[in-house]
Amino acid sequence: MVKNQVNYWQGKKVVVTGGAGFLGSHVVAKLKERGATDIFVPRSQEYDLRDKDVCANVVKGADIVIHLAANVGGIGYNRDFPGTLFYDNLLMGVHMMEESRKAGVKKFVAIGTICAYPKFAPVPFKEDDLWDGYPEETNAPYGLAKKMMLVQSTAYRDQYGFNSIFLLPVNLYGPGDNFEPGSSHVIPALIKKFVEAKASNEPSVAVWGTGSATREFCYVEDAAEGIVLAAEKYDKSEPVNIGAGFEISIKDLAEKIKALVGFTGEIVWDTTKPDGQPRRMLDTARATAEFGFKSKTNFDTGLAETIQWYQNNQ
């Protein structure tokens, strides 16, 4: 444990919204490792963060707020609930930051999304390209709602001197991911499909799209480390990407998961379903330069661990 990290978190009250979720649980674990003892995780069953009075109650007495809570899902979920995703995420972000400012919170860490990037942003996505076009249509309502926290963050620093930062994590994966078919992202969705197809000796597995789209994936524990490092060391308005800095096509991803699971049937591409954004990959140089973050987990290793976890816990 590094001495200044202990000093940074000791004696501070930290609020982590979404702290019981996939990414949040890893962030909370890292905070505890670093010496944080006063961590409050508001659960959605008790605290509706779309309500400003609830947010005011949640941030009372807090020194640092890490706002991870989101209504989020894969392409199908985004396509079915665009209005809900816009409304929920916009209100949560707006109220959490405003009430944190009013409560005198010393630092606010806003977690955005790669979905905020323009549909045809040059690859790798650089933070400076964030405003150069409209996001991919299926996830634009979600992406833009989260992106408003960047606007709010910059405006609040300018007007109030409020110390808030905005991070853009890429698609995450790892043990403990969401494997629910209605709302899961591509890696857990594919793992579930191939594991179940193997178990029931299915001849084939249907996968959405053409397989040509590319994605970048960051192991959840690495992303959590990036967020905690930024909370400790970064104090500027400019957005920062958190990712692994590589891309893989959905076709290659499906073949990789198929092989790791040991499924011997065919992959059938359902081209009536959308591919989503054509390419996704982040430039992560700013995170390395500003707070020393670099993703460490090898993708094949992380994927094997995620599959193993699902097989043990399904």
Q: Residue 115 pLDDT more than 60?
A: yes
The mean pLDDT value of the chain amounts to 95
Q: Residue 4 pLDDT more than 70?
A: no
> In terms of Cα–Cα distance, which of 22, 140, 136 is closest to 81?
140
**Helix or strand (DSSP H, E) at 298:** none
What share of the chain in percent tops pLDDT 70?
98
Domain ranges of the chain: 3-173+218-246+279-297
Six token digits for residue 232 = 């400790």
Six token digits for residue 130 = 């964030």
Q: Is the whole model's pTM more than 0.95, yes or no?
A: no
Q: How confident is the model at residue 103 (pLDDT cuts 50, 70, 90)?
A: very high
* Rg of the chain (C-alpha set): 19
Give every CB contact of residue 78 below 8 A, 6+ residues apart in sequence.
85, 138, 139, 141, 142
Per the DSSP assignment, residues forming a β-bridge with 66 are 16, 109
Give every CB contact of residue 238 below 8 A, 6+ residues apart in sequence.
127, 286
Q: Which amino acid is located at 21 in the chain?
A: G
pLDDT digits (tens, 9 = 90+) for 120-144: 999 999 999 999 999 999 999 999 9
Q: How confident is the model at residue 242 (pLDDT cuts 50, 70, 90)?
A: very high
- Distance CA(109)–CA(66), nearest Å, equals 5
Find the mean pLDDT for residues 76-90: 95
- Distance CA(57)–CA(70), nearest Å, equals 19
Helix/strand/coil for 263? coil
Q: In terms of residues, how long is the chain?
A: 314
Six token digits for residue 147 = 């992106």
CA angle 167, 239, 49 (to 5 degrees): 45
Does the annotation count 142 as an active-site position? yes
Residue 185: predicted pLDDT: 85
- Alpha helix ranges (H) inside 161-249: 186-199, 220-233
Distances (CA, A) of 130 to 13, 17, 28, 148, 266: 32, 25, 29, 12, 38
Residue 141: predicted pLDDT: 97
Which option is the CATH number for 3-173+218-246+279-297: 3.30.230.10, 3.40.50.720, 3.40.1410.10, 3.40.190.10?
Answer: 3.40.50.720
Q: Residue 31 pLDDT more than 90?
A: yes
Residue 128 is classified by DSSP as: G
Q: Residue 276 pLDDT more than 90?
A: no
* Furthest-apart CA atoms within the chain: distance in Å: 62
Residue 284 is classified by DSSP as: -
Residue 6: predicted pLDDT: 55
Annotated catalytic residue, options 142, 156, 219, 234: 142
